[in-house]
Amino acid sequence: MKVFAGNSNRLLAEAICNYLNLPLGKATVRRFADQEIFVEIQENVRGEDVFIVQSTSFPTNDHLMELLIMIDAIRRSSARRITAVIPYFGYARQDRKAGPRTPISAKLVANLITEAGADRVLTLDLHAGQIQGFFDIPTDNLYAVPILARDVKEHYNLENVMVVSPDVGGVVRARALAKRLDCQLAIVDKRRERAGESEVMNVIGDVTGKDCLLIDDIVDSGGTLCNAAEALLKNGATSVTAYITHGVLSGGAVARVTSSKLKELVITDTIQPTTAVQSAHNIRVISTSSLIGEAINRTSQEESVSSLFD
Instruction: Report if residue 221 touches ligand R5P, rule: CB under 6 A.
Output: yes
Q: Using the minimum distance from each CB to ligand R5P, give the nearer residue, 59 or 236.
A: 59
**Nearest distance, CB of residue 276 and ligand R5P, angstroms:** 16
Angle at 183 between CA 125 and CA 129, to 5 degrees: 20
CB of 217 to ligand R5P, least distance (A): 5
C-beta of residue 161 within 8 angstroms of C-beta of residue 181: yes
Among residues 55, 216, 271, 293, the one that binds ligand R5P under rule CB under 6 A = 216
Stretch that binds ligand R5P, among 12-20, 41-49, 179-187, 213-221 (CB under 6 A): 213-221
Instruction: Determine, following the binding rule CB under 6 A, whether residue 60 of this chain makes contact with ligand R5P.
Output: no
Q: What is the C-alpha separation between 168 and 228, in angstroms, rounded?
A: 12
Cα first-last separation, the chain: 26
Site string for ligand R5P, 139-178 (x = CB under 6 A): ------------------------------xx--------
247 binds ligand R5P (CB under 6 A): no
Q: Does 94 bind ligand R5P (CB under 6 A)?
A: no
> Which of helix, strand or coil describes residue 37?
strand
The single-letter code of the amino acid at 292 is I
Pick the binder of ligand R5P from 217, 243, 268, 293 (CB under 6 A): 217
The sign of the torsion formed by the CA atoms of 286, 13, 95, 194 equals positive
With CB under 6 A as the contact rule, the residue among 95, 189, 220, 294 that binds ligand R5P is: 220
Which of these segments, 8-16, 20-28, 66-74, 219-227, binds ligand R5P (CB under 6 A)?
Answer: 219-227
Of 162 and 257, which has the nearer Cβ to ligand R5P? 257
Instruction: Work out whether strand 81-86 and strand 49-53 pair parallel, antiparallel, or are unpaired.
Output: parallel
Shortest Å distance, C-beta 191 to ligand R5P: 15
Residue with smaller CB distance to ligand R5P, 13 or 253: 253
Q: How far apart are CA 83 and CA 280, in angstroms?
A: 34
Rounded Cα distance, 82 and 54, in Å: 13
The interface region with ligand R5P, picked from 48-56, 187-195, 210-218, 293-301 by CB under 6 A, is 210-218
Concerning whether 190 is annotated as a catalytic residue, the answer is yes
Q: What is the distance between the alpha carbons of residues 15 and 85, in angstroms, rounded to a whole number?
A: 14
Burial class, 52, CB count within 10 angstroms (exposed 0-12 / middle 13-18 / buried 19+): buried
Q: What is the largest CA-CA distance in the chain?
A: 63
User: β-pairing, 27-31 with 37-41?
Assistant: antiparallel
Residues that bind ligand R5P (CB under 6 A): 169-170, 216-225
Any idea which residues carry the catalytic annotation? 190
